[in-house]
Amino acid sequence: MKIPFFNNKQSEESFHYPEDNTLEHIAIIMDGNGRWAGKRGMPRAAGHKEGVSTVVKIVKVAVKCKVKVLTLYTFSTENWKRPKPEIDFILRLPKEFIYTYLPDLISNNVRIEAIGDMKNLPAYTREAVQYAIDRTRNNDGLQLNIALNYGSRHEILHAMKEMLAEINNGELSLDELDEQKFSRYLYTAGMKDPDLLIRTGGEKRLSNFLLWQLAYTEFWFTEVLWPDFSENDFLHALEEYRKRKRRYGGI
């Protein structure tokens, strides 16, 4: 499979891609862009821009590994606390990423979706993401979820409000409600919960990301900052996952 929009320093033939991948859904907290730039005496924006290059590399590996869903924590509801110039730069990156790489994403059968409260994002961000969603709607390969203005507590509250509205309207009975039905009100409705969560940058917390969905997910943390996160780092995370036994509360 040729994926022309990836120009790796290391030949892809040198990587080992598992043939029997059982990971359907991988979620990633892409942490460390600002620190990567700071260590080099560069503005934080340079780290975010370099982080886009890492996104491109990791999408390639996920395609090669036949991952079905890849969810990337791109901009959280808490990120609005950052300086306005940094926020503006981050929220322009989806447009740059999509218009640069969309033709090759389409040719590689990648389908783009977004999760989060999109209505409060700038029009240029919403329009770019919606354009990508529309153009890739018929693809049935890797589903790339971009989590934008996403916060899990906000998601759960939003789901509860929608659920209660249906109960009040007589469309749903409390007796019918269970975990499976509640999941239908989440942004990830219809998706399998993540098998593996990867967080770069050395922190070991969830940062309000997919709190409901990660109940039985395996976690893998690394000190590597996101712009330095390589194809081999990703494959190492997958290899570590395969060594674990998922018991889901059983023996």
Is 164 annotated in a binding site? The answer is no
Paired residues of 111 in beta bridges: 143
Catalytic residue at 8?
Answer: no
* Total length of the chain: 251
**Mean pLDDT, to the nearest integer, of 187-206?**
97
Is 169 annotated in a binding site? The answer is no
**Distance between CA 125 and CA 147 in Å, rounded?**
12
| Predicted pLDDT of residue 13 | 47
| Predicted pLDDT of residue 229 | 98
**Distance between CA 128 and CA 99 in Å, rounded?**
8
Number of Cβ within a 10 Å radius of residue 146? 23
Is 218 annotated in a binding site? The answer is yes
| Predicted pLDDT of residue 47 | 97
Q: Is the pLDDT of residue 250 over 90?
A: no
Query: Both ends of the chain: CA-CA distance in Å?
Result: 40
| Predicted pLDDT of residue 32 | 98
**Mean pLDDT, to the nearest integer, of 163-192?**
93
Q: Which one is catalytic: 7, 20, 21, 31?
A: 31
| Predicted pLDDT of residue 251 | 66
Catalytic residue at 79?
Answer: yes
Is 35 annotated in a binding site? The answer is yes
**Mean pLDDT, to the nearest integer, of 185-214?**
97
**Mean pLDDT, to the nearest integer, of 76-100?**
95
| Predicted pLDDT of residue 81 | 97
Number of Cβ within a 10 Å radius of residue 82? 14
Is 155 annotated in a binding site? The answer is no
**Distance between CA 107 and CA 227 in Å, rounded?**
25
Retrieve residue 188's tokens.
């990830």
pLDDT digits 0-9 by tens, 4-53: 444 444 444 455 555 555 789 999 999 999 999 999 999 999 999 999 99
CA–CA distances in Å: residue 66 to residues 1, 37, 49, 220: 12, 32, 26, 19
* Nearest to 146, CA basis, from 116, 104, 184: 116
Q: Which one is catalytic: 8, 20, 79, 233?
A: 79
| Predicted pLDDT of residue 245 | 81
Q: Are 132 and 102 in contact (CB under 8 A)?
A: yes
Q: Are 185 and 161 in contact (CB under 8 A)?
A: no
pLDDT digits 0-9 by tens, 91-111: 999 999 998 999 989 989 999
The CATH classification of domain 19-151+193-242, taken from the options 3.40.190.10, 3.40.1180.10, 3.40.50.2020, 1.10.357.10 = 3.40.1180.10
Q: pLDDT band at residue 127, thresholds of 50, 70 and 90?
A: very high
Q: Where are the beta strands (DSSP E) in 106-249?
A: 111-115, 143-150, 196-199, 218-221
Residue ranges per structural domain of the chain: 19-151+193-242
Is 199 annotated in a binding site? The answer is yes
DSSP label at residue 206: -
Give percent of the chain above pLDDT 90: 83
